[in-house]
Amino acid sequence: MDKDRIRARIWDDLEESGVARFPFPPHGRIPNFADAADAAERLAATDEWAATAVIKANPDAPQLPVRRAALRDGKVCYVAVPRLRDERAFRRLDPENVDDYDAATTVGGIEEYGTPVGPDEMEAIDLIVSGSVAVNEAGTRIGKGEGYSDLEFAVLREFGCVGPDTTTVTTVHERQVLADDLPTAAHDVPMDGVVTPSRTVRTAAGAKPTGIDWDALPAERVAEIPLLERLRGA
């Protein structure tokens, strides 16, 4: 089964089962799900979380509780600008400089409260929390199909902000965790952990990408992203 069919299967299932939460429909996005806050609470109880000072989290709705938990636990939280459209393509949320954690971690609040930074201004990231459409217990992740989460990792790897031992996890509903072998590509970032509202799975994920796979990037994608143009010309 290819990735598009798997995505369609999960989106349909979340909608038909009533597990999907706002924004609707779940199709075409990282789907929000019932009890996402419980998954974030479970993640925040792990040793990996306790050992973390700096995280990167995606800006999607199901990871909103993760971003809030990070600030409440005194962790710096980085969030990428959608489509990496800015030269300073990340926003830094520092709990010491934010007076309203709930507001600062919404999609609009990230832009309002976050400090624009480029990867050359960022400290090392201890933990990456990704959203997923589907994942399996081996740590193979499928996103919504645009490839930005994997590209963000690759860019940060080029700048030394992440490395082979940077922990990667995803928070999902149990219905998004599949028993199937899932298709994957060399530039896909595997997950070291899968956290649902009811359990935590530590995977035997393979090696992470070492940087940008230029051969996999169409020229128009490079032209749309200032950071890529800069790196390509370096």
Is the CB of residue 91 less than 8 Å from the CB of residue 116?
A: yes
How crowded is residue 200: how many other Cβ atoms within 10 Å of its Cβ? 15
Query: Is the entire prediction scored with pTM above 0.75?
Result: yes
SS (H, E, C) 188-222: CCCCCEEECCCCEEECCCCCCCCCCCHHHCCHHHH
Query: Radius of gyration over alpha carbons of the chain, in Å?
Result: 17
d(CA 214, CA 176) in angstroms, rounded, equals 30
Per the model's pLDDT, the better-predicted residue between 1 and 224 turns out to be 224
Q: What is the pLDDT of residues 15-74, one digit of tens each?
A: 999 999 999 999 999 999 999 999 999 999 999 999 999 999 999 999 999 999 999 999
Is the CB of residue 200 less than 8 Å from the CB of residue 192?
A: no
Q: What is the pLDDT of residues 75-84, one digit of tens each?
A: 999 999 999 9
d(CA 22, CA 25) in angstroms, rounded, equals 8
Both structure tokens of 44: 């925040």
Q: Domain 33-233: which topology?
A: Rossmann fold (3.40.50)
For the chain, the structural domain boundaries read 33-233
d(CA 118, CA 230) in angstroms, rounded, equals 12
Task: Quote the pLDDT of residue 150.
Answer: 96
d(CA 71, CA 106) in angstroms, rounded, equals 12
How crowded is residue 3: how many other Cβ atoms within 10 Å of its Cβ? 18
| H helix or E strand, kind and range, residue 130 | strand 127-130
Is the CB of residue 166 less than 8 Å from the CB of residue 126?
A: yes
Is the CB of residue 175 less than 8 Å from the CB of residue 14?
A: yes
Is the CB of residue 20 less than 8 Å from the CB of residue 32?
A: yes
Task: Quote the pLDDT of residue 62.
Answer: 98
What mean pLDDT comes out for the span 10-14?
98
CB-based burial label for 186 (10 Å; 0-12, 13-18, 19+): exposed
Task: Quote the pLDDT of residue 234.
Answer: 60
Q: What is the pLDDT of residues 189-228, one digit of tens each?
A: 999 999 999 999 999 888 999 999 998 898 899 999 999 9
Secondary structure letter of residue 118 according to DSSP = -
Non-local (6+) Cβ contacts of 19 within 8 A are 13, 33, 34, 173, 175
